[in-house]
Amino acid sequence: MKEIPANDPKLRSWVHVPAGSDFPIQNIPFGIFEKDSEKRVGIRIGDHVLDLNFLQHNGYFEGIELPRGIFRKAFLNEFLSLGKKLTSSIRNRVSELLQVGSPLETHGSVDVFLLAAELVQVCMPIEVGDYTDFYSSMQHAVNVGSMFRDPANALFPNWKHMPVGYHGRSSSVIESGVPIIRPQGQILSAEAERPAHGPTKQLDFELEMGFVTCGESVQGVPIKTEDAEKYIFGLVLLNDWSARDIQKWEYVPLGPFLSKSFATAISPWIVTLDALEPFRTEGPEQQPEVLPYLQYEGMKHFDIDLEVGITPKGTQERIVCRSNFKHLYWNMAQQLAHQTVNGCNVKSGDLYGSGTISGPDPGSYGSMLEISWGGTKPVMMKDGSERSFIQDGDTVKIRGFATRQDLKIGFGEVASEVLKPF
């Protein structure tokens, strides 16, 4: 593990951070906020947002070569294009400025650059140019394969040889808080001979995480696993919404299409890979041995706790899943190496979904398809109603946080309410 001064658990900020906050001084996640009809780049610290445009304008980033106005943007893409070395330098400088005794603490009007989070609008952090969704949890793949096909052959022959994925729809990637309109499509019911058109009856969440790239690679030149993290800026929570009945009818032979492209929701604050350095962990043993371009050294998995809650309208939340990012079979370095092995290039602001993250027991399954086992085992809500899949009026929230002794690095949440179709 790298020793990064900004990760020191002993650091204390002059900004008040409530106990148990997802956003202590050791986190420093990046995002976009809007204040007075202008969007800018900010850092979340406790219950506040730090305006990076103000810091640059007033000389607090002196010595770091930055384009003028780089933080007065509607998306993080231009900042990410500066590369990992520079983005890490900004995080380290912000850490210094937030520490007790820094020059920023004694600045006169704190409220001009440190804004209450509840008073600003948090926005989509990146303009997603390309979106890939992987299928990297073996437990999830076995569960789905058992339900959709044959339990004896749940995994396709290629699954343990490559991080299987598909090119998703970037136009429908949305931020937390944007409602989900129940999608419609073709559905073939069990008792019918021909498909019918209508709204999905099996709307589902998928518990995922996504990573965001920084810098750009050269088309035709693959990224090696040992170099992959130079292109990974940070992670977000991701809900890859799915319509299971539409998916089951359409996925042969080319895979998901309308069942996945209507909405993918992400959390607004991007937690840097640097902040997650203390939470590296070993991954599962991969057998059979993977091809040389997918082999890696060191710890490339991360210990991040995840949970999903469902709140029917007007009632209390019920937690239906607790899982962990470390359950993935394929890690991010392998995913990026496989994405580029054919010469595909990556750009700043690209989004890569992990695929549904399911753990080894039913309480850690990352979708309602698995939790209710295709609708045969409904889950009781706090109001006494049951859920096999997500209903209109339900709000689904995904939360994530990594903990180590007294240190907690959180992601906040990604929340979406489901509305009736037009």
- In one-letter notation, the amino acid at residue 342 is N
Separation CA 333–CA 223 (nearest Å): 9
Catalytic site includes residue 140: yes
Separation CA 398–CA 319 (nearest Å): 10
Residue in 246, 243, 254, 338 with CA at minimum distance from that of residue 290: 338
Separation CA 88–CA 80 (nearest Å): 10
With b for 16 or more beta-carbon neighbours within 10 A and e for fewer, the 140-169 pattern comes to: bbbbbbbbeeeeeebeeeebbebbbbbebb
- In 105-256 the beta strands, taken as DSSP E runs, fall at 114-116, 121-123, 131-134, 165-167, 173-175, 180-181, 184-187, 196-199, 203-204, 207-213, 232-240, 242-243
Catalytic residue among 140, 301, 327, 338: 140
Computed over its alpha carbons, how large is the radius of gyration of the chain?
22
- In 12-149 the beta strands, taken as DSSP E runs, fall at 30-35, 38-45, 48-51, 114-116, 121-123, 131-134
For every residue of 264-322, DSSP letters joined together read EEE-SSBEETTTTGGGEE-----SSPPPGGG---S--EE--EEEEEEE-TTS--EEEEE
Counting Cα atoms < 13 Å in the Cβ hemisphere of 360 gives 4
Residue in 302, 180, 324 with CA at minimum distance from that of residue 239: 180
- Dihedral of alpha carbons 329, 229, 42, 12, sign: positive
Residue in 228, 400, 216 with CA at minimum distance from that of residue 298: 228
Cβ within 8 Å of residue 113, ≥6 positions away: 50, 51, 54, 55, 107
Separation CA 24–CA 303 (nearest Å): 18
- In one-letter notation, the amino acid at residue 374 is G
Determine whether 292 is exposed, middle or buried from the number of CB atoms within 10 Å of its CB (0-12, 13-18, 19+).
exposed
Report, as residue numbers or ranges, the catalytic residues.
140
